[in-house]
Amino acid sequence: MAIFAQLARHPLATAVSAVLVVLFLIRRRPHRLDRAAIKAGLVVPPRAPAPFPFIGNLIAMGIHPGHFIIRGHKKYGDVFSTTVMQHNFVFVTGKSHIMRVTSAPERQLSLNEAYKDLFGFIVGTEIFVPVSKSVFSALTSSRVEAMTPALMHVTQRYLENKFKGDMGKVDMQLLINELVAVLSVSLICGGDFGLEYGPEVADNMNILETDYSVFSALSPFETAVVRRRRAARLRIMALVEAQARKRVEKLRDQPMKPTDDYFDRLVHVMFYGRVDKTIDETSIANEFADNDKPEGEVDPRDIPEEERIYNIVISAFGLIYGAHTNTSVSAMAHLCEILPRPEYMDILRKDFVDHLGNDAITSFKAYLTRVNATPRGQPKEVSPFVQMRTTNRILSESLRVHLDGGMLRKALEDVHLDNGVTIPKGSFVIINAYPILASPRLYGADGETWNPNRLIKPIPPGEFDESSTGGFSGKLDDLQSPLVRSSDLQMSGFGSGRHLCPGRFHAYRMINQMTAQMLVNFDFVVESNFDKWWPVPYGGTARPLGKFIVFWKRRV
Using one digit for the tens of pLDDT, what is the confidence trace for 416-460?
998 899 999 999 998 876 666 666 766 777 878 888 887 654 434
What pLDDT is recorded for position 17? 55
User: Could you tell me which residues come within 8 angstroms of residue 46 by beta carbon, excluding any fewer than 6 positions away?
Assistant: 76, 77, 79, 80, 81
Question: Which is more confident, 60 or 249?
Answer: 249
pLDDT average, residue stretch 169-183: 94
What pLDDT is recorded for position 483? 41
What pLDDT is recorded for position 517? 93
Kindly state whether residue 108 falls inside one of the protein's structural domains: no
What pLDDT is recorded for position 274? 79
Q: Are residues 176 and 254 in the same domain?
A: yes
Question: Which is more confident, 128 or 524?
Answer: 524
Kindly state whether residue 114 falls inside one of the protein's structural domains: no
Kindly state whether residue 116 falls inside one of the protein's structural domains: no
Q: Tell me if 534 sits within 8 A of 150, measured CB to CB.
A: no
pLDDT average, residue stretch 59-77: 83
- Cα–Cα distances (Å) from 397 to 247, 394, 463, 489, in that order, read 41, 5, 20, 15
What pLDDT is recorded for position 386? 82
| Domain end among 67, 92, 117 | 92
Q: Are residues 258 and 402 in the same domain?
A: yes
Q: Are residues 422 and 316 in the same domain?
A: yes
Q: Are residues 266 and 200 in the same domain?
A: yes
Instruction: Please list the residues that pair with 451 across neighbouring strands.
Output: none
Kindly state whether residue 106 falls inside one of the protein's structural domains: no
Q: Are residues 84 and 175 in the same domain?
A: no
Amino acid code (one letter) for 124 = G
| Domain end among 92, 117, 133 | 92
pLDDT average, residue stretch 44-52: 88
Predicted confidence band of residue 213 (pLDDT cuts 50, 70, 90): low
Q: Are residues 283 and 136 in the same domain?
A: yes
Predicted confidence band of residue 171 (pLDDT cuts 50, 70, 90): very high
Predicted confidence band of residue 413 (pLDDT cuts 50, 70, 90): very high
Q: Are residues 86 and 174 in the same domain?
A: no
Mean pLDDT is lowest, of 82-86, 150-154, 242-246, 410-414, for 82-86
Question: Which is more confident, 411 or 392?
Answer: 411
Does the pLDDT at position 124 exceed 80?
no
pLDDT digits (tens, 9 = 90+) for 358-379: 889 899 999 889 888 888 888 8
- Cα–Cα distances (Å) from 475 to 274, 283, 286, 352, 472, in that order, read 30, 10, 8, 21, 8
Q: Are residues 171 and 66 in the same domain?
A: no
Kindly state whether residue 70 falls inside one of the protein's structural domains: yes
- Cα–Cα distances (Å) from 454 to 144, 395, 444, 465, in that order, read 28, 12, 9, 21
Listed residue (153, 172, 167) closest to 522, CA to CA:
167
Kindly state whether residue 142 falls inside one of the protein's structural domains: yes
What is the average pLDDT value for the chain, to the nearest integer?
Answer: 78
Task: Encode burial over 421-436: b for 16+ CB neighbours within 10 A, e otherwise.
Answer: bbbbbbbbbbbbbbbb
Mean pLDDT is lowest, of 31-35, 296-300, 345-349, 527-531, for 296-300
Question: Which is more confident, 544 or 481?
Answer: 544
| Structural domain containing residue 469 | 125-554
What pLDDT is recorded for position 550? 97
What pLDDT is recorded for position 458? 42
In the chain, the number of structural domains is 2
The kind and range of the H/E element at 416 are strand 415-416
| Domain end among 47, 77, 92 | 92
pLDDT digits (tens, 9 = 90+) for 476-526: 444 443 443 433 334 456 666 677 777 777 888 899 999 999 999 999 999
What pLDDT is recorded for position 81? 92
Amino acid code (one letter) for 293 = K
Mean pLDDT is lowest, of 14-23, 299-308, 379-388, 513-522, for 14-23
What pLDDT is recorded for position 484? 39
Question: Which is more confident, 48 or 54?
Answer: 48
Q: Are residues 80 and 139 in the same domain?
A: no
pLDDT above 70: percentage of residues in the chain? 73
Q: Are residues 88 and 171 in the same domain?
A: no
DSSP code, position 138: H
Alpha helices in 339-459 (DSSP H): 342-356, 360-372, 384-387, 389-402, 434-437, 440-443
Q: Are residues 162 and 35 in the same domain?
A: no
pLDDT average, residue stretch 393-398: 85
CATH number for the domain harbouring residue 299: 1.10.630.10
Predicted confidence band of residue 298 (pLDDT cuts 50, 70, 90): low
pLDDT digits (tens, 9 = 90+) for 103-119: 888 889 888 888 888 77
Kindly state whether residue 31 falls inside one of the protein's structural domains: yes
Q: Are residues 160 and 52 in the same domain?
A: no
Does the pLDDT at position 339 exceed 80?
yes
Q: What is the secondary structure of 509-544 as a DSSP string?
A: HHHHHHHHHHHHHEEEEEEE--SEEEPPTTSS--EE
Kindly state whether residue 447 falls inside one of the protein's structural domains: yes
Predicted confidence band of residue 144 (pLDDT cuts 50, 70, 90): confident
User: Could you tell me which residues come within 8 angstroms of residue 305 by beta carbon, excluding any fewer than 6 positions away?
Assistant: 271
